[in-house]
Amino acid sequence: MTGKRKGYITKISGNMVSARFDTFVVQNEVVYIIHGGERLKSEVIRVRGKNAEMQVFESTGGLKVGQEVELTGELLSVELGPGLLGQIFDGLQNPLPQLAEKCGFFLKRGVYLEALPDDARWEFTPSAKKGDKLRAGEKLGHVTEKIFKHYIMVPFNLRGMLEVVSVAKKEKYDLKEPIARLKDENGSQHDAFLQQTWPVKIPIEAYSEKLKPSTPLVTKMRLMDSLFPVARGGTYCIPGPFGAGKTVLQQLTSRHAEADIVIIAACGERAGEVVETLKTFPELTDPKTGKPLSDRTVIICNTSSMPVAARESSVYTAVTIAEYYRQMGLNVLLLADSTSRWAQAMREMSGRLEEIPGEEAFPAYLESRIASFYERAGVVKLHDGSTGSVTIGGTISPAGGNFEEPVTQATLKVVGAFHGLSRERSDARRYPAIDPLISWSKYKSFINIDQVGKAHSILRESNNILQMMKVIGEEGTSLANYIIYLKGEFFDFVYLQQNAFDEVDEATTDERQSYIFDFIYRILDSEFEFDNKEGALHFFQKIRQEFRGWNSAQWRSPAFTKIEKDISSLVEGAVKKKEKANA
Amino acid sequence: MHKVYTDIIQIAGDVITVEAEGVGYMDIAEVITRHGSSMAQVIRLDEKRVSLQVFAGSRGISTRDKVRFLGHPMRIASGDDLMGRIFNGSGVPLDKGPLLTDNIIDIGGPPVNPTKRIIPDKMVRTGIPMIDVFNSLVESQKLPIFSIAGEPYNELLARIAIQAEVDVIILGGMGLKHDDYLFFRDTLEEHGALSRSIFFIHTASNPTVECLLVPDISLAVAEEAALRGKRVLVLLTDMTNFSDALKEVSITMEQVPSNRGYPGDLYSQLAARYEKAVDFDTAGSITILAATTMPGDDVTHPVPDNTGYITEGQFYLKGGVIEPFGSLSRLKQQVNGKTRDDHRTIMDTMIQLFASYRETVEKQSMGFQMSSWDRKLLKYGKLFEKNMMSLEVNIPLEEALDSGWEILAECFTPEETGVKKSMIEKHWRGK
């Protein structure tokens, strides 16, 4: 572009700045505000005549009417290439550790660093040959990043069939050296690099088709996997009041879920929680690979006191990086905590724009924004036939813990699974506090569907009986009903609840889940006979205690086998009695 | 240098609009009226129209009065000279001491880089068993006290302040009753803590918007001290008044309210303050204790609700005691494994039994028959309330744990408590 396009500030209100331009303006283009030596990043969000309104990703203190702004013509983008794994970025993809080295304790505004270090050199192994015809997203070769083959692909923004004119030979290159030259259908030539950039708000669609999510994503949380499963490439949400354990749940999932890569987007939440993740992950080992967990993780963090507008960009940055790794045929899990803070950032900006507010002052486009974000999840078939997936799990922090609010409702419409946390369960220290009576999932579990149905119905009946007992007392309840109540409680205690502080119990593999569920199902399905309620209570308390030990015994260890035998004989004892009585 | 403008074109609520040029957003101005002068802050710029919120209120401002822009954001003196001093909500001395002009710092500075924080692991001892044993307070934690108006939350804050081993205590009072202010001053003086305290006091008789500066001033001073390696405790009382002042200004500015009249950015506004709590890598720390009064004891009210999503737990003060249910310290796990080997056992066991006691009380009130187990629980509950929950009790953690074992032994057999065998053998005080 010849000559920089410029404008001047006319209005400042919070993190919204208006400017007047004598030139053309592109919606969503990045604009820099020039404030002395500082250049503050902002994004055009509305154009009206010669005026445009921008959301500023920094504090606006000290800015003045009449100051110059510089248009870039580029949409807000991220850098994609080897070196992302293990990084900690802010919402604009600034690497935070490097920022700390440069600026010390505080996040100085207007300082932007390269997301990927320019000086890093990667050994590139070509796979494409001269003369090959490739489409955007197809592989040119790879470099090795941590434990992954990081494929270098034809830039996503090129259209049509491209002919490979030349490919670099196997050697070390930095991110800015061309590694291939491609010719498009019109005959123009393009260079490909180890790195490419992509605008965050546009989904990457360099694949052949989108498939229906069907394989379960094992999170090793029994309540989720068995009753309310999430599929690879699916979406789920976790709404819950404060203190119900949303963040702990996300942290456990980020550690144990069977995904190749986990992207954590800490959006508008406590800094302390991110600190815990980023200080502990390098020390925790991934049982699957034996490498530190940080090797498969990217953290995007824009905590609650960081600039509000960057919350929005943080979720988009995260999902774009997720899509990038999906293009390599990997299964990526994106955890966003919390999407409500992102919605609030939209509300704040909408208020400053003086748009007509919808419910609870959220903007009218809240639903469509949420929907298009979750729609970026999915399983895709790539051009070479392999598949990759992005699974999105978002927490929601509803005001007053009331799920009837706009963000929860808008999200429920578009996700495939709903894990609703309840204050009652967390107060009773029943963790994870996902309420089995309100949650649902549209995906298939690896557990038999009829058995899952039966378990659900016992939980419901048990709760009904409990509610009744609160009114008429234990005396007024029949023994048969009392046993159903105990079965429900038993199932909750030994299967649905999981102790996050027990190193065995905190994560249960799918193999073990299937086995244990089957075992419990037989107990739930058995008809017991007891002399009285006390006998029934005593029996269930006893097997419950045994089960606790069983849950913390290593899978298939001698202790595991022994406890299993003990429980079996206890159960048999109780069932046999009934058969004798019948005989 | 500082140009003076006299074109006040609008006065609405405590916000005035003046026509001026070259004014920086968030900058401070002085409004000079015939009744005196007041500080004001730029909250909106629209071409030449500059809107300012006037901290002393707009009463008596004339359209011909003078507005002098100072060309910088709100600033405050900092450093050791402030120790033992008392200021108002704008940083003007209230104690007849000299005006301070050294180490001037901007308030409301940038956020801390998360990578420069460390995982907090130092317990703050308070001598209150309900805190030390059950919900340990941790250095750098941000924790509000949720209560209805009239509960002794200020007494509780003062008690924690005089017992906590910190280098600096900063009290930010918002809408504080004059009596409460005197109470804080006298209590801290009595216990010899006034010399390491700094007060920023906005009382109920001051104009409402003036309290908006109190948290920022208090935390800016705290941050400066923490960067010098000091351990700072900041007390903010009452954050509901602060939120109400935000509400007042945003309504005046014709912003669309989100929930019960509060502005949509209430969460971000509160978070920007609470997130100043920090344990710096290679420097000091800031711990924030705040009071949040809940209108109608309603925890879903926007102020406690948003606060709960930001802070690391809360103490729920009800009926003059800290309620074990509803109170939570999210950071307790970081410290209570390293105090004494029986700390977590006592914490879990006593709370579970107390929950059973509450159920029994409910049963009793509904007229159900009391079993021998129920009677044991009733005895236990009474002892627990007297020796643990009462705010009269003031003992170190170790004594509180011992007292816990004594209560258990007085009421139950070892098996009834459900405590692990190895723990019983080591700590049980029975005959």
- In DSSP terms, B213 is beta-bridged to none
Note whether A270 and A377 are same-domain residues. Answer: yes
DSSP state, residue A216: B
**Residue ranges making up the domain that contains A512:** 449-582
Residue B314's pLDDT band, with cuts at 50, 70 and 90, is: very high
Note whether B89 and B41 are same-domain residues. Answer: no
| CATH number, domain with residue B11 | 2.40.30.20
Cβ–Cβ gap B312/A270 under 8 Å: yes
Q: What is the mean pLDDT of residues B75-100?
A: 92
Residues 6+ apart with CB under 8 A from B286: B140, B219, B222, B223, B226, B232, B234, B276, B277, B278
Q: How many distinct structural domains can be found in chain B? A: 3
Residue A291 and residue A299: Cα distance in Å, rounded?
Answer: 17
Backbone φ and ψ of A39, nearest 5°:
-120, 110
A235-239 and A387-396 strand pairing: parallel
Give percent of chain A above pLDDT 70: 98
Residue B289 and residue B233: Cα distance in Å, rounded?
Answer: 8
Asked whether the beta carbons of B293 and B91 are under 8 A apart, the reply is: no
When scoring A306, A421, A542 by the number of chain B Cβ atoms within 10 A, the one with the most, hence best to mutate, is: A306
Residue B89 and residue B38: Cα distance in Å, rounded?
Answer: 12
Residues 6+ apart with CB under 8 A from A520: A491, A494, A495
Note whether B58 and B135 are same-domain residues. Answer: no
Q: What is the mean pLDDT of residues B257-275?
A: 92
When scoring B27, B115, B305, B345 by the number of chain A Cβ atoms within 10 A, the one with the most, hence best to mutate, is: B115
Residue A111's pLDDT band, with cuts at 50, 70 and 90, is: very high
Separation in Å, CA of A231 to nearest CA in chain B: 29
Give chain A positions within 8 Å (CB) of B328. 243
Examine residue A186 and state whether it is found in any structural domain, yes or no: yes
Cβ–Cβ gap A100/B113 under 8 Å: yes
Examine residue A418 and state whether it is found in any structural domain, yes or no: yes
The pLDDT tens digits for A29-60 are 999 999 999 999 999 999 999 999 999 999 99
Note whether A314 and A179 are same-domain residues. Answer: no
Of A243, A304, A361, the CB nearest to B328: A243
Domain boundary residue among B296, B313, B335? B335
Residues 6+ apart with CB under 8 A from B253: B15, B43, B44, B51
Residue A557's pLDDT band, with cuts at 50, 70 and 90, is: very high
Tokens of B129: 């068993």
Can you give the pLDDT at residue B366? 83
Q: How many distinct structural domains can be found in chain A? A: 4
Residue B116 and residue B358: Cα distance in Å, rounded?
Answer: 44
Tally Cβ neighbours within 10 Å of residue A522: 13
Note whether A239 and A286 are same-domain residues. Answer: yes
| CATH number, domain with residue A575 | 1.10.1140.10
The pLDDT tens digits for A129-159 are 999 999 999 999 999 999 999 999 999 999 9
| CATH number, domain with residue B288 | 3.40.50.12240
Q: What is the mean pLDDT of residues B134-149?
A: 95
Size of interface A-B (CB pairs under 8 A): 166
- A100's enclosing H/E stretch is helix A96-103
**Residue that the structure tokens 């028959």 belong to:** B369
Residue A193 and residue A141: Cα distance in Å, rounded?
Answer: 11
Can you give the pLDDT at residue B85? 95
Can you give the pLDDT at residue A577? 55
Note whether A214 and A319 are same-domain residues. Answer: yes
**ipTM score assigned to the predicted complex:** 0.89
* Residues A287-298 as b or e (16 or more Cβ within 10 Å = b): eeeeebbbbbbb
Note whether B83 and B67 are same-domain residues. Answer: no
Nearest-by-CA chain A residue for B325: A427
Q: In Å, how far are A227, A521, B295 from A514, measured between CA atoms?
A: 12, 10, 49
- Inform me whether the pLDDT recorded for B108 exceeds 90: no
Tally Cβ neighbours within 10 Å of residue A143: 21
Give chain A positions within 8 Å (CB) of B17. none
Q: Mean pLDDT for chain B?
A: 92
Note whether B238 and B133 are same-domain residues. Answer: yes
The pLDDT tens digits for B210-222 are 899 999 999 999 9
Residue A338: cis peptide before it, omega within 30 degrees of 0: yes
Q: What is the mean pLDDT of residues A2-15?
A: 89
B15-19 and B8-12 strand pairing: antiparallel
Residue B76 and residue B56: Cα distance in Å, rounded?
Answer: 18
Domain boundary residue among B52, B73, B94? B73
Examine residue A387 and state whether it is found in any structural domain, yes or no: yes
Of B46, B119, B326, the CB nearest to A276: B119
Can you give the pLDDT at residue A242? 87
Note whether A406 and A435 are same-domain residues. Answer: yes
Cβ–Cβ gap A100/B22 under 8 Å: no
Residue A1's pLDDT band, with cuts at 50, 70 and 90, is: very low
Give chain B positions within 8 Å (CB) of A88. 114-115
Q: What is the mean pLDDT of residues B97-115?
A: 92
- Inform me whether the pLDDT recorded for A578 exceeds 80: no
Residue A460 and residue A426: Cα distance in Å, rounded?
Answer: 19
Nearest-by-CA chain B residue for A305: B272
Give chain A positions within 8 Å (CB) of B117. 271-272, 275
Note whether A172 and A300 are same-domain residues. Answer: no
- In DSSP terms, A48 is beta-bridged to A51
- Inform me whether the pLDDT recorded for A439 exceeds 80: yes
Note whether B131 and B38 are same-domain residues. Answer: no
Examine residue A541 and state whether it is found in any structural domain, yes or no: yes
With CA atoms as reference, report the closest residue to A335 among A253, A415, A457, A243. Answer: A253
**Residue that the structure tokens 């409301």 belong to:** B108
Note whether B280 and B378 are same-domain residues. Answer: no
Nearest-by-CA chain B residue for A272: B119
* Helical segments of A228-382, H only: 246-256, 271-280, 309-326, 339-352, 366-374
Give chain A positions within 8 Å (CB) of B283. 105
Angle among Cα A277, A281, A282 to the nearest 5 degrees reads 135
- In DSSP terms, B293 is beta-bridged to B147
Cβ–Cβ gap A97/B256 under 8 Å: no
Note whether A249 and A324 are same-domain residues. Answer: yes
- A549's enclosing H/E stretch is helix A533-551
Give chain A positions within 8 Å (CB) of B300. 399-402
Cβ–Cβ gap A108/B257 under 8 Å: no
Examine residue A1 and state whether it is found in any structural domain, yes or no: no
Note whether A481 and A455 are same-domain residues. Answer: yes
Of A97, A276, A360, the CB nearest to B115: A97
Q: What one-letter code names the amino acid at B52?
A: L
Can you give the pLDDT at residue A583? 44
Q: What one-letter code names the amino acid at B277?
A: A
Q: What is the mean pLDDT of residues A381-407?
A: 95
The pLDDT tens digits for A469-515 are 878 877 788 999 999 999 999 999 999 999 888 889 999 999 999 99
When scoring A67, A242, A466, A548 by the number of chain B Cβ atoms within 10 A, the one with the most, hence best to mutate, is: A242
- Inform me whether the pLDDT recorded for A580 exceeds 70: no
Of B25, B73, B119, the CB nearest to A279: B119
The pLDDT tens digits for B337-367 are 899 999 999 998 999 899 889 989 988 888 8
Note whether B114 and B143 are same-domain residues. Answer: yes
Note whether B304 and B361 are same-domain residues. Answer: no
Give chain A positions within 8 Å (CB) of B111. 106-107, 271, 303, 305-306
Rounded to 5, what percent of chain B is helix, strand, coil? 40, 25, 35
Q: What is the mean pLDDT of residues B399-411?
A: 96
Tally Cβ neighbours within 10 Å of residue B135: 23
Cβ–Cβ gap A304/B328 under 8 Å: no
Q: Give CB contacts under 8 A, 24+ apart, made by A480-486.
A: A482/A533, A482/A536, A483/A528, A483/A530, A483/A536, A484/A458, A486/A462, A486/A536, A486/A537, A486/A540
Residue A255 and residue A236: Cα distance in Å, rounded?
Answer: 17
Note whether B282 and B179 are same-domain residues. Answer: yes
With CA atoms as reference, report the closest residue to A279 among B123, B284, B114. Answer: B114
Examine residue A189 and state whether it is found in any structural domain, yes or no: yes
Give chain B positions within 8 Å (CB) of A308. 265, 268
Q: What's the Rg (C-alpha) of chain A?
A: 28
Residue A579's pLDDT band, with cuts at 50, 70 and 90, is: low
Give chain A positions within 8 Å (CB) of B134. none
Domain boundary residue among A398, A414, A441? A441
Note whether A351 and A243 are same-domain residues. Answer: yes
Q: What's the Rg (C-alpha) of chain B?
A: 25
Asked whether the beta carbons of A167 and A43 are under 8 A apart, the reply is: no
Examine residue A284 and state whether it is found in any structural domain, yes or no: yes
Cβ–Cβ gap A344/B283 under 8 Å: no
Note whether B350 and B375 are same-domain residues. Answer: yes
Q: What one-letter code names the amino acid at A457?
A: S
Q: What is the mean pLDDT of residues A262-269?
A: 94
With CA atoms as reference, report the closest residue to B289 among B258, B317, B260, B253. Answer: B317
Note whether B47 and B186 are same-domain residues. Answer: no
Q: Mean pLDDT for chain A?
A: 93
Note whether A515 and A458 are same-domain residues. Answer: yes
Domain boundary residue among B318, B335, B352? B335
Give chain A positions within 8 Å (CB) of B418. none
Tokens of A260: 């190749």
Backbone φ and ψ of A153, nearest 5°:
-115, 160
When scoring A50, A59, A65 by the number of chain B Cβ atoms within 10 A, the one with the most, hence best to mutate, is: A65
Residue B222 and residue B169: Cα distance in Å, rounded?
Answer: 9
Separation in Å, CA of A294 to nearest CA in chain B: 14
Residues 6+ apart with CB under 8 A from B47: A10, A11, A65
Residue A432: cis peptide before it, omega within 30 degrees of 0: yes
Nearest-by-CA chain B residue for A97: B115
- Inform me whether the pLDDT recorded for B34 exceeds 60: yes
| Report field, pTM of the whole predicted structure over 0.90 | yes
Nearest-by-CA chain B residue for A95: B115
Note whether A283 and A431 are same-domain residues. Answer: yes
Top-confidence range, A303-307, A324-328, B2-6:
A324-328
Examine residue A106 and state whether it is found in any structural domain, yes or no: no
Note whether B81 and B166 are same-domain residues. Answer: yes
Can you give the pLDDT at residue A471? 81
Cβ–Cβ gap A305/B46 under 8 Å: no
- Inform me whether the pLDDT recorded for B1 exceeds 70: no
Q: In Å, how far are A17, A57, A339, B267 from A314, measured between CA atoms?
A: 20, 11, 11, 18
Asked whether the beta carbons of A552 and A504 are under 8 A apart, the reply is: yes
Cβ–Cβ gap A305/B271 under 8 Å: yes
Residue A78 and residue A313: Cα distance in Å, rounded?
Answer: 10
Separation in Å, CA of B297 to nearest CA in chain A: 13
Q: What is the mean pLDDT of residues A331-354?
A: 92
Of A65, A108, A308, the CB nearest to B268: A308
**Residue ranges making up the domain that contains B11:** 4-73
Q: How many CA atoms lie within 13 A of A520 on its CB side?
A: 31
Residue B138 and residue A29: Cα distance in Å, rounded?
Answer: 45
With CA atoms as reference, report the closest residue to B383 among B104, B208, B129. Answer: B129
Cβ–Cβ gap A400/B305 under 8 Å: yes
Give percent of chain A above pLDDT 90: 81
Cβ–Cβ gap A275/B118 under 8 Å: yes
Of B24, B283, B309, the CB nearest to A62: B24
Note whether A188 and A241 are same-domain residues. Answer: no
The pLDDT tens digits for A219-261 are 999 999 999 999 999 999 999 998 888 988 999 999 999 999 9
